[in-house]
């Protein structure tokens, strides 16, 4: 158990819908990362937050947004869902941006 | 061309064998991670290294910065080692985000 929690574990929804994925980092970690793992693209970085502020953005679609709250948990919002958004979404956390990252168990999103 | 290349893509071994998985990268990095992903999907961080060698139990990770190459070794392999092993790097030009290899599927047969 890495200490990073993600909810829900599984999510099945329809095209056009909006979902929110939640991540609680390890106790004391200030940095949160979101990654997407799809069958055709592998693991890709989406976005990073550090102590409530956006730190870096990767291949994140405009339909996706995220935030980190004062208690340091983070949420990833996915809207206008498409079939191709079906993937495993991982959250990782680290004490500070250049420390080792620890991964949560992931949320498996299926868009039908 | 991917910035991070792993080999082999698939590896089948007999229990007890010594296993090596390789990772090569093409640009400057500040750190390299080895990750393990089990069939259930969860990812476990095995090592983070920026030079030399690290050992944890039966796992050994080495990195050669000059040659832009890292290896993950598993000694006395066991069926429970069956998983996907992923090499991920922190590029010098990309802050602290990770860039991932495609993974090596390891199957250890009893």
Query: Between B30, B41, B95, which is nearest A108 by CB?
Result: B41
Q: Do B103 and A90 touch (CB under 8 A)?
A: no
As a whole number of angstroms, the distance between CA B103 and CA B43 comes to 12
As a whole number of angstroms, the distance between CA B43 and CA A110 comes to 19
Q: Do B100 and A42 touch (CB under 8 A)?
A: yes
Instruction: Tell me the per-residue pLDDT of B92-105, one tens digit each, with 9 for 90 and over.
Output: 888 889 999 999 99
pLDDT for B1 beyond 80: no
Q: Which residues on chain A are in Cβ contact (under 8 Å) with B97?
A: 33, 45, 48, 56, 58
Cβ within 8 Å of A, B 9-68: 30-31, 33, 35, 41-45, 48
As a whole number of angstroms, the distance between CA A88 and CA A102 comes to 16
Note the pLDDT of residue B10: 97
- As beta bridge partners, residue B89 has B32, B99
Instruction: Tell me the per-residue pLDDT of A56-100, one tens digit each, with 9 for 90 and over.
Output: 999 899 999 999 999 999 999 999 999 999 999 999 999 988 889
What is the band of A2 on the pLDDT scale with cuts at 50, 70, 90?
confident
What is the band of B31 on the pLDDT scale with cuts at 50, 70, 90?
very high
What is the band of A40 on the pLDDT scale with cuts at 50, 70, 90?
confident
Note the pLDDT of residue B57: 96
């Amino acid at each position: 158990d890495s200490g990073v929690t993600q909810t829900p574990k599984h999510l099945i929804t329809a095209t056009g819908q909006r979902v929110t994925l939640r991540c609680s980092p390890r106790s004391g970690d200030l940095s949160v990362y979101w990654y997407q793992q799809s069958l055709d693209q592998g693991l890709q970085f989406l976005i990073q937050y550090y102590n409530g502020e956006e730190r870096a953005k990767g291949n994140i679609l405009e339909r996706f947004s995220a935030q980190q709250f004062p208690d340091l948990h983070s949420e990833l919002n996915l809207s206008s869902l498409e079939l191709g958004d079906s993937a495993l979404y991982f959250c990782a956390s680290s004490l500070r941006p250049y420390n080792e990252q620890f991964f949560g168990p992931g949320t498996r999103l299926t868009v039908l | 061309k991917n910035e991070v290349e792993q080999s082999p893509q698939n590896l089948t071994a007999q229990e007890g064998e010594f296993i090596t998985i390789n990772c090569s990268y093409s640009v400057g990095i500040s750190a390299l991670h080895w990750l393990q992903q089990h069939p259930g999907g969860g990812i476990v961080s095995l090592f983070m290294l920026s030079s030399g060698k690290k050992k944890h139990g039966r796992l050994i990770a080495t990195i050669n910065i000059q040659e832009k190459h890292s290896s993950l070794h598993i000694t006395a392999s066991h069926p429970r080692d069956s998983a996907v092993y992923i090499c991920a790097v922190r590029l010098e030009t990309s802050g602290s985000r990770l860039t991932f290899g495609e993974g090596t599927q390891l199957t250890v047969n009893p």
